Amino acid sequence: MLKHVIKLNINGFRITLLVAFLCVGACSQSEGNDYCRNHYQFHAAHIDDIGRLTVDLTSDGVLSRRLELPNGIVDGELPDGIFGLQTEIECTTTDVAVDSSNSGLVAKFESQCGEGNRLQQLDVSIFDLFPELDEIEVMMTTPVTQKRFVINRQCAAPVFRLD
């Protein structure tokens, strides 16, 4: 009877070890293969093929946006509605400039939003307009904070871990 009890405890220990190894193995496999969770591992490899959006809201209410798209994404003019920024107080667009070169397109937008205004949300519809574009890196700066993240068409949420 004593041998039987010891044998069950050893088998239970083996089962516990087996379950632990399976859990650790499953976690390490999914961690390494998850493109969105581990985007920092892939980001440098395609940095030349992504778009960039820089948003800067100053304390006096000037909202500047700079959109850079790699060559081959835009043919012709830049369509309206590529992205939108929701703010507490509605902004007025004062200046738009678009330059195109061999390296791609650069569009600059400047708006007056009023002193003390705050950014609430970034709406991106650029992926609907340009199916060749898979990712856009965003740098947002306000008087209070600065954020850098990626919006990728494969990922359900913005990716903040890039380095």
Q: Left, alpha or beta for 156 (phi > 0: left; psi -120 to 50: alpha)?
A: alpha
Distance of CA 29 to the CA centre of its chain: 23
Mean pLDDT of the residues in the chain: 77
Report d(CA 58, CA 76) in Å as an integer: 32
At 108 the pLDDT is 92
Residue range 97-131, pLDDT digits in tens: 888 887 888 989 899 988 888 888 878 788 888 88
Average of per-residue pLDDT across 25-52 = 71
The full DSSP string for 60-86 is TSEEEEEEEEETTS--SSPPS-SEEEE
Contact 103, 125 (CB under 8 A): no
At 23 the pLDDT is 53
pTM for this model (two decimals): 0.73
Report d(CA 66, CA 55) in Å as an integer: 7
Give the 3-state secondary structure percentages of the chain, helix then strand then coil, rounded to 5: 30, 35, 35
Distance of CA 71 to the CA centre of its chain: 20
47-152 CATH fold:
Immunoglobulin-like (2.60.40)
